[in-house]
Structure 1
Amino acid sequence: MKFFIDTANLQQIKEAQDLGVLDGVTTNPSLMAKEGISGDDNVINHYKAICGIVDGDVSAEVISTKYEEMITEGERLAALDSKIVVKVPMIKDGIKAIKYFSQKGIKTNCTLVFSAGQALLAAKAGATYVSPFIGRLDDISVDGLGLIEEIREIYDNYGFQTQILAASVRHSTHILGCAKIGADVMTGPLSAILSLLKHPLTDSGLAQFLADYENVKQK
């Protein structure tokens, strides 16, 4: 399973990249705003900076909700770097735009997916990635991991090449659940990725090893 980091924070992206397990980045206007990035030129330059750090795909989201405007904006984003994946919302014009981009060889990420039917439409349109938001579903007492499982079954039934990118991942349980079900990608904060390192027996075992070493050294 690929690991993407969901942020616009360059320091966190670099930390994840230096860890050696990062496969890509997803971001959006909200995450850009959180980092104080505003204005078209600044946003474009920030995407370029992200592409300069990572080796894998970088999802860059369109702001437009109308087909023609999505095409214009998406083509501009795709021209920035071969790593750019145009992130398009799951709406009628978004599906039309995904079809257009797929025919032009432009990678896409269909975002804000909350049902298997939406994921099926995105795959039919040729999306490179589909992003079901499992954390937001959990927030309203709907089984987010169950949705991943449904999409996996449908895609496997018909050989769709669209990759399931589990989004709104909050913690290690989400990550491991996605891995067990067969999600192709997970995207989440740096804290979720680093949480996989943690286990109390590892901490206590290391502390004991170091204490034993100090005792031997003193003798």
Structure 2
Amino acid sequence: MNLLEQLKSMTIVVADTGDIESIAQYQPRDTTTNPSLLLKAAQMPQYAHLLDQSIAFADSLGGSEDGKLQACMDKLAVSFGKEILQIVPGRVSTEVDARLSFDTEATIAKARHLIELYEADGISRNRILIKIASTWEGIKAAETLEKEGIHCNLTLLFGFGQAVACAKAGVTLISPFVGRIHDWYLKDRGVKSIEPTDDPGVHSVQRIYNYFKKYGFKTEVMGASFRNTGEILELAGCDLLTISPELLGELQKADGKLERKLSPESAKKQDVPETAMDEKTFRWMLNEDAMATEKLAEGIRKFAADIVKLEQFVGKRMKQAVGV
């Protein structure tokens, strides 16, 4: 078996893309999307019909131009998700607007609306993960949503405190960002490379995985944002790993024996103290972690900027559709 096939035998592989053709090629169980991936996919000719359908849907609702734009954006995200779910057997992650990252109630409302759109299209909420930034407000929103049977993927997760808070809130899944942690430490250390075995992003996921399994938390750990296949191989055995089509291709072409690095059995043997968590503790732990503080803020800004770009693209197409 190649390395991708071996990895799939011990870890759930998730495709980090909005490109439906790539998803079909690598056959992951789940997939994740975000505004930048949707923007890229929405500009591909083969997906123009999804945008056209979303524009028609929004136009049928009437109301203000801004209201129509938001309706089209939500419908487009759900339309891509629905297409993806015709290929993958598992779940798709659909992201809440990053500009709502510090608004618990607005995040809850947006998540409920996205689920309503999916269910109106005949898609069960059990196949959807609502993607929310791992702010305190986002985690509190997820805690409420999980109680309603709306499953959440907490993203932009860089610090251990964020992970513990998510687990205690009962969220379905977290996405620690390996590559972005890697990037921060490259700059901080003034080096050009870090070996996968010494990679702080890899170590972060290992620590979180071992802690969750040690104390019996049900929250799934999905390593994300990889810079190279070496990082991925060091996390073989993690619950899930979300991987770009480029790195999936490299793994598919590579041979060799893959060693399992993470397992519940080894995690239970770890000597790690349990961490208490409340809002004050969360904010202090985040404040004390310069990397996590900076990368969380930067990630929210970038996702928000991607949303604006997608809105501009969709808004332009909406005007063209009505001949303005």
TM category (shorter chain) comes to 0.7 to 0.9
Match of 1:151 in 2: 208
Identity, in percent, stands at: 34
Gaps of 5+ in 1: 202-219
Q: Distance in 2 between matches of 1:200 and 1:44?
A: 37
The structure whose residues are more often strand, as a share, is 1
TM-score, normalised via structure 1 length: 0.83
Instruction: Give the aligned length.
Output: 195
Q: What is the correspondence of 1:94-133 to structure 2 with a 5 Å cutoff?
A: 94-133=138-177
Q: Deviations over 1:99-158 (max 9, x none)?
A: 001111111100000011110001111111111000111111261000011102211221
Alpha-carbon deviations, 1:28-51, whole Å to 9, x = none? 112111223674232222221112
The question of whether the paired residues in 2 share the 8 Å contact of 1:170 and 1:188 is answered with no
Counterpart in 1 of 2:82?
Answer: 48
Q: 1:198 to 1:46 in 2, by over 3 A?
A: closer
> How far apart are 1:52 and its partner, in Å?
1.8
2:18 touches 2:37 (CA, 8 Å); kept in 1? yes
Higher relative contact order (CA 8 A, sep 6+): 2
1:96 to 1:35, Cα distance in 2 relative to 1, 3 A: same
State TM-score, norm by structure 2: 0.57
The question of whether the paired residues in 1 share the 8 Å contact of 2:77 and 2:94 is answered with: no
Aligned residue runs from structure 1 range 8-157, under 5 A: 8-17=18-27, 22-36=28-42, 39-40=72-73, 41-63=75-97, 64-65=100-101, 66-79=103-116, 80=118, 81-82=123-124, 83-141=127-185, 143-157=200-214
1:75, CA displacement in angstroms? 1.4
Q: Give the aligned partner of residue 7 of structure 1.
A: 17
Whole-Å Cα distance in 2 between the matches of residues 23 and 168 of structure 1? 18
Using the alignment, how far apart are the partners of 1:117 and 1:43 within structure 2?
Answer: 30
| Structure 2 counterpart SS, 1:139 | helix
Distance 1:139 1:193 in 2: 20
Structure that is richer in helix per residue: 2
Distance across 1 between alignment mates of 2:137 and 2:209: 25
- CA distance in 2 between partners of 1:49 and 1:156 (Å): 34
**Structure 2: distance between partners of 1:98 and 1:129:** 10
Displacement of 1:199 in angstroms is 4.0
Q: Which residue of 2 aligns with 1:160?
A: 217
TM-superposition CA deviations, 1:44-71 (whole Å, max 9, x none)? 2222111222111101110033222211
What whole-Å deviation, never above 9, does each CA across 1:51-97 have from its counterpart, x for those lacking one? 22211110111003322221121112234122111111111210111
* Alpha-carbon separation, structure 1, partners of 2:159 and 2:178: 10
The one-letter code of the counterpart of 2:177 is: F
Query: Match of 1:35, SS?
Result: helix
